[in-house]
Structure formats: C-alpha cells, structure tokens
Amino acid sequence: MTEHTPPPALTDTEDRHREKMQKRKAVQDQEVASKTVEKGLLLVNTGPGKGKSTAALGMVLRTLGYGRRVVVVQFIKGLWDTGERRALERFDDLIEWHALGEGFTWETQDRARDVAACQKAWAVAKQALSQPDIALVVLDELNIALRYDYLPLAEVLADIQARPAGQHVVVTGRNAKPELIEQADLVTEMALVKHHFKNGVKAQQGVEF
C-alpha cells in the first residue's frame, strides 16, 4: 500500500460492530457518571456454593494493595494453617487476623463453648468496627454464628450500622439472615452446580486451604 492508497473500507460487519460499541460505551459512560455516592458498604457472601470466604479475601488483597488497614475475624473456624493466612500475614503491618472459632458445630458438640467463642470473636469485631483507620473488616462465617443464635442478631446489626462512614464490611457464610440481607448494600449468593467432594476428592492444599 502506497501513501496515496486509501485504507481498505470497513466491511458492513465491522461498521455495525463499531457503531454498536460506540452506543454501548455512551450508555455505560452515562451510567457511571450518574453514580456519585461514596460510602462504606456492607457486603454479604452467602449461599451453598464454594467461594464465599475466598471472594472476601480477594477484597482483602485489593485493599492491602492500596496500603489500607484490614481486620479479619473468623467465627466458627478454628486455627487452621491455610495458604491465604500465610500469604496475607506477610502484610503484618496492615492486617490483623483473628481466628477465634473452635471448629464447626458438629466438631465441638458443645453449644455453651461455641457461644462463648463467638462472643469473644464479636468483642474483637466490635472493636475493629469502631476504628475509622480500618478500611475493611471481614466477618468470616458470621452467618453461621447468627444462624444458630450464638450472637444476638439485633446487636450485631446495630454494631455494623454504627461503624465509621467509610468502612467496608464483608460477612460470609451460608444461610444469611433476612434482616442482614435487608441491611446489606450488596448480597451475592454462591450457587452450587458441581463439587468434586461428591466424587470422593478430599480437601486439598491450595484449593480448600
């Protein structure tokens, strides 16, 4: 092609695609520009599918990437040696990790012990929820504690509502209470389509922990 040769004409398909994308971009740009509110969000990851805590920890990593402080409080789960905890604790100047559960309810088989552990964990969570310099609080498996009435729902909702204006909170666990869903800004339900556990595959390093 010489410098005087015009470029090849766009085909009808390319032309229609460009026009369609230009219209779509204009709509998208207008939609984004209309969103002006900035606030701390309450996010809930629930449902029977795998990935609720993993998604929350993705937000932890994102927040740490901006040099902001994070607190993770794990209810129910015991002090597991997990890959994500090993990795995230390298940011020990920015993250606090509190694994305050004593194992799942079918493991402890002791309601009083479970309630005491959850109350202890909530005291730590409530402290984090009062600190404006903490950007993100993850309340991992809190939904399980609420499901079994190990913590008073009204008190939990009030403490979350009273947090600093810019602080984000992520709550994980199956069977989120309707009242929590109502208060939340974003609720994601993880659906279970297929799981390797059903085929005899055990929990594996790097996948489950």
Please report which confidence band the pLDDT of residue 207 belongs to, taking 50, 70 and 90 as the band edges.
Answer: confident
What's the pLDDT at 115? Answer: 92
Q: How far is Cα 4 from Cα 9, in angstroms, rounded to an integer? A: 15
At 78, which amino acid appears?
G
pTM: 0.84
Of 46, 75, 32, whose CA–CA distance to 178 is shortest?
46
Q: How far is Cα 175 from Cα 143, in angstroms, rounded to an integer? A: 6
The whole-number average pLDDT for the span 154-174 is 98
Structural domains of the chain sorted by starting position, each given as residue range(s) with its CATH number in brackets: 42-199 (3.40.50.300)
Q: What is the pLDDT of residues 102-143, one digit of tens each?
A: 655 545 567 888 899 999 999 999 999 999 999 999 999 999
What's the pLDDT at 138? Answer: 98
